[in-house]
A and B are shown apart, each in its own frame.
Chain A
Amino acid sequence: MMGTTIAAMADSEAQTVSIMTLNVDGLPHKLLFFNVNTDGPGSAGSEVVSEYIASKNCDIVAIQEDFNYRWEIWSRLFAGYNHDEWSGGIMMEDEPIDYAHLHNHRFKADGLNMVWKKDCQSTAYERVPWQQSFGKFSHEFDDIITKGFRRHELTLANGSEIVVYNMHMDASSERDESVGNDTKDREARLSQWQQLCQHILARLDNRPIIVAGDMNSYYNRDDILTAFFEPLTASGKATVGDAWMVLHNGGQYPALGGDKLKSEVLDKVLYVNPTVGNALIPVSAELDADGYLLDGKPLGDHTPLIVTFQFSRTDKTGISTVQQMRDAEIYSLSGIHQQQPLRGVNIVDGKKVARP
């Protein structure tokens, strides 16, 4: 989608939803005798991260690497947000570890977490591990935990329904990338993009989808367009966009094998709009490097990416997954919300209802 088209589609009076994706770098500084994340925020820094997240007032925050400092990360968010399941930390639980055969051990944690404002409602939730990943004691240790993605069905305060995916994909180290030893990492990531695409296609309805997370991917390095964009688009059921590329690169995507877009980061916020139903239009995308500092130093090894979407369509007719009747929400045939419905046929959750 081109930016101009989006601008034209976006209705300034339409409702918005904002989302932040942030890898909170939540590994402890030390595990057993080993220094693993000495430059991470640690316990005290994670509280500052929490304060930062709360200050941005986003509707939804997709968090990755929420491992050992979950209470610190949630500490400033309890008041305004609900959260999903925390799947555990690294070497901090009662989970027995067979140290003699450490290579057989995999922590249950996926490091994922999502928070949403209390006026939103989570109606369904699913956690899915990646089918393929690579690297246990090197290649960024992906196999030590159970990486994957989480899918949430959310009803926003305005009654709009969206689906949000939060994920953490296979990482590769700068060392391996520099010497061309990241082939298996790239293969794993490509497989994960394909798995994600299939998961979305299998569940696609008329709700728009936000796909956010730490993808560890660049368009010039990972064939995201072939693995993810094209199958969705080719299905004829949806269109796909990357908020950052749409707003900061005119909707153009760096070519595979070409130069990396300088401003591109590993974290991404994509959106999948079903061809029938509601749609999301990105209206702003911000990498808040300047705000994510403590004493002039970055709070973690990732920069928060904040994207605001507008709903270009708010047609609720035909939504098949709404489970509850909401008598207060009355819509016109054209899908306009009527606070005081006075005439005509009204439709509630796809059914005609008599005018009160």
Chain B
Amino acid sequence: MIKQYALLLLAIASQTTIAAAQESAPAYEVIHETDTVWHFGAESIFLYSRPMHRIDIAYPSKDPEGNDATLSGCIAIPTDVLNGEQPCDGVVLMNHYTQMSFDGAPTRGNAQGEDYVFANPLSPNYIQVSSDFYGFGITEGKGQWYCFGDANAQASIDCLLAARKLLDDRKISQGRFLINAGYSSGGYDAIATQKLRDKKYRDVISFDKTFVGGLPFDMETALDDYLAIKDQPGRFFGLLMVLDSYNRHAHLGLKTEEMLKEPWASKFDEWMNSGQYRTSDILDELRHLKLTDIVKDTMLNKNSEAHKKLRQALKDHELKNDWVPDTTQNYLVMHLYSDMTVPVASDRALLTFLSGYRYENGTSPLFRKSIIPEQTHLQTNFIINSKDHTLLGGACYYLGLSAMLTALPILYYDGELNTHYADLVKDATPMGIVKTLEAKGYDLKSAVKGMGGGGGDIWSAMAKITEITKTLDRYLEPHDLVYTDLLTMADDSGLTLQDILEIYTYLSSDDSTDAGSRQEKTSATQQPQVVPGTPSFFYQQLENWLHENNYDIESIQLPF
């Protein structure tokens, strides 16, 4: 009797194990398999090419509402890797960027920037896995869930698991590294995928790096940024897709004609759901229009019911909701500083969210921003000042991804971060870099003095430079920047205001007097008028910036 009971328990345990295994390794069906060539170039001028073998699969997953569904995705393997001529270094889970046309689905053979990643001269030896997401591929026509919470995350995770099984079945090496990647809305879905992984798949999946760029992490912030420039011609196409997606899936109940002006309202449904238009088609049509030319005031007015509904839906589906980040994971986040398609502030919210996350009772940020690769778990690069989300931003992202994929096997070849590199970056604080440069013979203190910054505090010195030479303004003006933008870029990318203050204090330390500071302080307070180019104007900008960035003004030695 006891034996039978034990056998029963064993059987139940076995079934549970099998069920769990099946859950973590779903089946797949190969629906198409072909050899193709990916190219690196522009405007049909191919500089480099790489033969690829593409396997399109159907795999069991869930639709965005949690119902069982079969979705499609593709696995692309460099032919030289498949043939064993090159060893495989890893797998890239690529989340595709904004698509409207059904032809844009990965299984339609449309490389989503991956051609730039795989076919450039670095030719990283990785296998790419990409879900079509719901609404594309074998679910095309059922409507996509564009930047809607973590609606596409399960599709991405399941596609990865199915791909792993296929690769195992075919005895194709998956290498050592697993990368989660995506640009723009693909970056949004990559973060959603990371979130789902952190919540449900910690034991099954561990990303060596989640590399995202140009994403609208905080949709509400993105909305505010769009509103701030609603009277300027811009690239509002993403916002239209968000309107459609949230109206439909969050059941806002808004009619198209309530949201959009004509003739756009009449075209909207066909644009969004026919699958016949490419994003570039729509962009071309809207290129010279302002947001107010397209969207009705009822949507843009913060006090309107329609606007409030939308805003609440964005809030309800924020990615940061119900997410406890796994601090063992590694992020690389880049964004063009002046991105006009996806405003940078919505991505900055990701940095704020991660770097603000702490252990229970902890006080130090676990994700510390750093521009230096592999120095922390949160590398950031927000210093490229361009508006061009697609051409420049996309190129920077995909080539950056390629460089990262190439560097990882070297940096981690011996199963740990290369010790030489680790030693190099361990103390690579901004102040450490200054000291290193000095040790190499660079007289930075003299350089600072030469620029007129020999005494007092950095703000007085900068104000003086601004006032006397106008150099800073003259340089920044053509780029639509003011000097506080430089502070923001630096801060986003890991160079904090405290770092800057520390460096300046050190470099001006030979001049022990702070008379300059006091003098400027007096000067600043004595000037009642805020005239551009004057120290007062400078200080006001600075003070505003400090407030906006939640700095403790008392802790910073300010000259005013």
- Cβ of B525 < 8 Å from any Cβ of A? no
Q: Is the CB of B414 within 8 A of A136?
A: yes
Query: Which residues on the A side are within 8 Å of B323 (C-beta)?
Result: none
Q: Do the beta carbons of A134 and B410 come within 8 Å of each other? A: no
Query: Residues 174-193 of chain A: 1 if any B CB is under 8 Å from the residue's CB, otherwise 0?
Result: 01100001001000000000
Does A136 contact B419, Cβ atoms closer than 8 Å?
no
Contact (Cβ within 8 A) A175 B413? no
Minimum CB–CB distance from B419 to chain A (whole Å) comes to 4
- Find chain A residues with CB under 8 A from B413 CB: 103, 136-138
The minimal Cβ–Cβ distance linking A239 to chain B, given in whole angstroms, is: 38
CA distance in complex: A259, B187 (Å): 56
Q: How far is the CA of A187 from the CA of B410 in the complex (A)?
A: 22
Does B406 interact with chain A (Cβ within 8 Å)?
Answer: yes
Residues of B400-453 at the interface with A, using a CB-CB cut-off of 8 Å, are 406, 409-411, 413-416, 418-421, 423
Known: A175-B419, A175-B423. A138 touches B121 (CB 8 A): no
A101 within 8 Å of B (CB atoms): yes
Are the CB atoms of B86 and A137 closer together than 8 Å? no
Inter-subunit contact A137/B420 (CB<8 Å): yes
User: Among B87, B121, B414, B421, which residue has its beta carbon within 8 angstroms of that of A100?
Assistant: B121
Given contacts A173-B419, A175-B419, contact A138 B86 (CB under 8 A): no
Residues of B within 8 A of A316 (CB): none
Set of chain B residues within 8 Å of A103, measured between Cβ atoms: 89, 409-410, 413
Answer whether residue A135 sits at the interface, using C-beta atoms and an 8 A cutoff: yes
Q: A138-B419, A173-B419 are in contact. Are A100 and B410 (CB under 8 A)?
A: no
Query: Do B420 and A101 touch (CB < 8 A)?
Result: no
B194 touches A (CB below 8 Å): no
Residues of chain A lying within 8 A (CB to CB) of residue B87: 104
Tell me if B128 is interfacial: C-beta within 8 Å of chain A: no
- B167-201 interface bits toward A, Cβ cutoff 8 Å, 1 = contact, 0 = none: 00000000000000000000000000000000000
Chain A residue with the shortest CB-CB distance to B407:
A103
Is the CB of B125 closer than 8 A to any CB of chain A? Answer: yes
Q: For chain B, which range describes its interface: under 10, 10 to 19, 20 to 34, or 35 or more residues?
A: 20 to 34
A354 within 8 A of B: no
Contact A102:B414 (CB < 8 A) given known A138-B419, A138-B420: no
> A104, B418: Cβ atoms under 8 Å?
no
Interface residues of A in 135-187 (CB under 8 A from B): 135-139, 173, 175-176, 181, 184
Asked if B414 and A138 make an inter-chain contact with CB atoms under 8 angstroms apart, the answer reads yes
Interface: B122 (CB within 8 A): yes
Select which of A100, A134, A137, A184 is within 8 A of B418 by beta carbon. Answer: A137
Determine whether the beta carbon of B418 is less than 8 Å from that of A138.
yes
For residue B101, CB closer than 8 A to chain A, the reply is no
0/1 string, A89-126, CB within 8 A of B gives 1: 00000000000111110000000000000000000000
Q: What residues of B have a CB within 8 angstroms of the CB of A181 in the complex?
A: 416, 419
CB pair A137 B423 closer than 8 Å:
no
Main secondary structure of the interface of B (DSSP, over half): loop
| Chain B CB within 10 Å, residue with most, of A103, A104, A136, A184 | A103
Complex contacts, B123 vs chain A, CB 8 Å = 100-101
> Across the interface, do B409 and A176 meet the contact criterion of CB distance under 8 Å?
no
- Could you say which residues of chain A place their CB within 8 Å of the CB of B121? 100
| Distance from A186 Cβ to chain B, minimum over Cβ atoms (Å) | 14
Rounded to whole angstroms, the CA-CA distance of A25 and B418 in the bound complex is 23
- Output the nearest chain B residue to A138 by Cβ-Cβ distance: B419
CB-based nearest A residue for B406: A100
Contacts of B89 in A (CB 8 A): 103
Interface string of B76-88 (1 = CB under 8 A from A): 0000000000110
List of A residues within 8 angstroms of B414 by Cβ: 134-139, 184
**Residues on A with beta carbons closer than 8 Å to the beta carbon of B124:** 100
Task: Write out the residue numbers on chain B whose beta carbons fall within 8 Å of the beta carbon of A175.
Answer: 419, 423
The answer on a CB contact under 8 Å between A104 and B420 is no
A138: chain B residues within 8 A (beta carbon): 413-414, 418-421
- Nearest Cβ on chain A to B9's Cβ, whole angstroms: 41
Query: Closest CB-CB distance, A253 to chain B, in whole Å?
Result: 31
| Complex contacts, A102 vs chain B, CB 8 Å | 410
* A176 adjacent to B86 (CB under 8 Å): no
Q: B234 to chain A: closest CB distance in Å? A: 39
| Bound Cα distance from A184 to B420, whole angstroms | 16
CA distance A138 to B422 in the complex (A): 10
Known: A134-B414, A137-B410. A101 touches B125 (CB 8 A): yes
A101→B86 contact, CB < 8 A:
yes
In chain B, what residue has the closest Cβ to A102? B410
Q: Which residues does chain B contribute within 8 Å of A139, judged by CB atoms?
A: 414, 419
Which chain A residue has the least Cβ–Cβ distance from B420? A138
Q: Could you name 5 residue pairs across A and B whose Cβ atoms are closer than 8 Å?
A: A101-B86, A103-B409, A137-B413, A138-B420, A184-B414
B interface vs A, CB < 8 Å? 86-87, 89, 121-125, 406, 409-411, 413-416, 418-421, 423
Instruction: List 6 tightest A-B contacts by C-beta distance, closest first.
Output: A138-B419, A103-B409, A136-B413, A138-B418, A100-B122, A103-B410
